[in-house]
Structure 1
Amino acid sequence: MKILHTSDWHLGQYFMGKSRKSEHSALIDWLFDCVEKNAIDLVLIAGDIFDTGSPPSYARELYNTLVLGLRHRHCQLVIVAGNHDSVSMLNESSSLLAELNTYVVAAATPQQPHQHVIELYEKGSDKVAGLLCAIPYIRPRDIVLSEAGEDERGKQGLLAEQIKVFYHEVYQIAQEKSVALGGVPILGSGHLTTLGASVSESVREIYVGSLESFPLDFFPPFSYLALGHIHRPQKVAGLEHVRYSGSPIALSFDELGSQKGVVIVDYSKSLANPIIETLSIPCFQPMLSVSGDISCVVKALKNALDTLDLKDKEAPLWAEVTLVSDEYVSDLYRQLQQALDDLPIELLRVKRQLKTQAQAMDNTNQETLSELSVEQVFERCLQSAHIEDEKPALTRLFKHHYQGMLSKQQELDNENL
């Protein structure tokens, strides 16, 4: 059995006013070829198949094309809903799609956990080769009720615990089935943020004011965990079998640094130790983000055209430009347009940044909060505040209070022991 894991297609998305229809159409054609060449038995889309709850008609047509194309290739399709998807819209055709070998899980149903266990088959066989705990994006109202007087930390803890319980209840049902079937592998899915995942600017926070990220050790011991919501492909905590496939096309300019792809999980040689690999997706729409002064930006864009060899003006390069300068340029967009006249380039976003800001960003090396200690975070704050005279006093106060907090925490730990 071979499984292809993908997520976050966002059919119907408009990127800064530009339709992604042609890209998604090309993606579906590529996927069909991939399924045939790699003998894929199941395609799993881990959430956000659509960009909005009311997608345009062409997005629904692409959805139908995907379903029918995989049905024609005798490939099972499982779609779990994401935070962008409409439960009612996905549910309206789920019973019909089930007759076409497509299974849609639109909402979490804690009262009926057995509905989340889907049997997986090899092509041309009625034998169950695996089980999927198909868990979609979990809306807090579907799984837990807040209690009066509960603080924010209490709400977060309660929600995380209830999600954990739900996952384990579904896994328990799958485990019993697996034993009855002779020990087939159990896979899981999820559409959420786990601790340690790296996000991009196109990712919407989904537990605002509540649970921001779900602890990895709260998941059951799945053979493979297919995650969605984060658009950058990545392993979670360095684990081979816990992955975000990432979005198949770049949904923001800051995603251009990561190669888009799908994850193939191959159980054909071993049920206990599947071969897990990433298959790269070609770029269907050239995009580029450049920064510098006007001359540097224009040169970079023209060099990109030479590299891409873009001849067709109907498929232009989409560009984001950041002008780095301490001087105010009132007609920046017009100057760029004139410099790029008659070239197949569309400027989707033009920004201005002061040189001092750019240098500060370079000095931080794009550090993330998780990579810094408490002391380093404090140092970065002082550096950005530009209050040289007050630094010594603020540093003394910080060290005094921080050491006091550590001492109190140590005392509490000793009492608990």
Structure 2
Amino acid sequence: MRILHTSDWHIGRTFHGTSTMDALAEVLSALVEQVRDNAVDAVIVAGDVFDSSTPAGPAYTLLGDTLVALHDTGAKVIVTSGNHDSAARLGFQARLLRDGIHVVTDPRAIGTPVTISDSDGPVHFYGIPYLEPAIVRQYWPDATLRTQAQTMAHAMGLVRAGMAAHDGRSVAIAHCFAAGVDATAGLEREVRQGGLDVVPLDVFDGPDYIALGHIHGRQQLSDRVRYAGAPLHYSFGEQHKERGSWLVDLDAAGLASVEWLPLPVPRRLVTLTGTLEEILSTENIAAHAGDWVCAVYTDALPQSEPMRRLKAHFTHCAMVQHAPVGGAERAERSYAERLKSAVTDTERIEAFLEHVRAGQGPSERERELIREILDERVAAEALV
């Protein structure tokens, strides 16, 4: 059986205030063609289909169009909910969908597989929707479910019980933060309370393949356990991570092979670092005029209207940051703390200059001027 593993579509997300709907539609259309060209039997979408629990109308339209297009290739489709989705809203769609499209949102159905057969027999797909311990412990009052690790371990126990009752190969689908992943800062949910949200890898023992979602970059935690990542870049922190999906082949004995299928990137992301003049060089403008640009300028002092100047040449400049050279190496004391510890007027002025210049203190000539002005003030006060 041939399976395509994708996840984290995040339909409805914006990128620095710009809708990603058209770009995502382009990428998902390419994914449908991959399913058709590779004669895929089953498509797995491992959570975070929507970016919000209250998606707007166009998000439903794009999801519906994509699921119908996938179904028209002849493939079966299995979708689970993630931490961004509303399981109730996503589950509502299930009643309206045609045969062969399965939306799994009910935790109580974890041990009941979606079964698809090929010439080698049945393959049982066990969908695990995102499980928030405080919400799902009502379903299993006798189990201790305080952490993601405990909750996912319980869910996988239900999967293994289902496997014992159903002969054949098996695939589990989950949306969680597994041990050993390399997360994108600021995007995936932070690991809290000393790692309580991290799910150990051995929790996933049993099935022939584990299709995971939640991490936006592709990850291979073992031959059997993988993240597909998001099909579109949603942050400059992801710009060097490939977009695509896993093509998984099962033979009669279980997992046979896994291949990465890259997806197109509608608009590249690039971070340009240097002085503002260097960033606005002829070479950069020629190479990146059509890209999403994050500009990190290193001038000692803040420059006038940097975003306006950048957008004049980089239409899709989305971010501008001032990071003067050496600024990160200076003492990380707040302006208020520096003022509080300052003893002399000279120290107070120097603290002010460092604050407004992003860490750049007075030059030697400026120090001389400060001393002269303060000396003149002292002399004037002495005459009063």
Q: Secondary structure at the match of 1:10?
A: coil
Tell me what 2:260 maps to.
278
Q: Secondary structure at the match of 1:227?
A: strand
Number of residue pairs aligned between Structure 1 and Structure 2: 323
Contact 2:5 2:247 in 1 (8 A): yes
Deviation string 1:147-183 (CA, Å, 9 cap, x unpaired) is: xxxxxxx975x652343122112222123202xxxxx
The code of the aligned residue for 2:111 comes to H
- The alignment yields a C-alpha RMSD, in angstroms, of 2.4
The code of the aligned residue for 2:100 comes to N
The offset of 1:18, in angstroms, is 0.6
Q: Secondary structure at the match of 1:114?
A: coil
Shift of the 25–9 alpha-carbon distance from structure 1 to 2, 3 Å rule, reads same
Structure 2: 5+ residue runs without aligned partners?
A: 139-143, 331-384
Contact 2:111 2:161 in 1 (8 A): no
Say if 2:214 is the partner of 1:229. Answer: yes
Tell me what 1:190 maps to.
174
Contact 2:218 2:229 in 1 (8 A): yes
The offset of 1:333, in angstroms, is 2.1
Q: Secondary structure at the match of 1:61?
A: helix
Contact 1:81 1:107 in 2 (8 A): no
Tell me what 1:217 maps to.
202
Q: Secondary structure at the match of 1:104?
A: strand
TM norm structure 2: 0.78
2:302 to 328, 335, 340: 328
Tell me what 1:388 maps to.
none
Structure 1: 5+ residue runs without aligned partners?
A: 146-153, 179-183, 311-315, 361-417
Distance in 2 (CA, whole Å) between partners of 1:297 and 1:283 is 23
Q: Secondary structure at the match of 1:93?
A: helix
Shift of the 85–159 alpha-carbon distance from structure 1 to 2, 3 Å rule, reads closer
Tell me what 1:293 maps to.
275
Deviation string 1:193-227 (CA, Å, 9 cap, x unpaired) is: 01111111352426755832111112232211111
Distance in 2 (CA, whole Å) between partners of 1:323 and 1:159 is 41
Output aligned runs, 1:36-185, within 5 Å.
Answer: 36-97=36-97, 99-109=98-108, 112-115=109-112, 117-122=113-118, 128-144=121-137, 160-178=149-167, 184-185=168-169
Distance in 2 (CA, whole Å) between partners of 1:128 and 1:87 is 31
The offset of 1:106, in angstroms, is 1.6
TM norm structure 1: 0.72
The code of the aligned residue for 2:114 comes to I
The offset of 1:16, in angstroms, is 0.9
Q: Secondary structure at the match of 1:39?
A: coil
The offset of 1:349, in angstroms, is 0.9
Shift of the 325–194 alpha-carbon distance from structure 1 to 2, 3 Å rule, reads same
Distance in 1 (CA, whole Å) between partners of 2:255 and 2:79 is 25
Distance in 1 (CA, whole Å) between partners of 2:102 and 2:38 is 21
Q: Secondary structure at the match of 2:150?
A: helix
1:355 to 304, 321, 325: 325
1:319 to 271, 286, 293: 293
Shift of the 336–285 alpha-carbon distance from structure 1 to 2, 3 Å rule, reads closer
The code of the aligned residue for 1:108 comes to P
The offset of 1:324, in angstroms, is 1.5
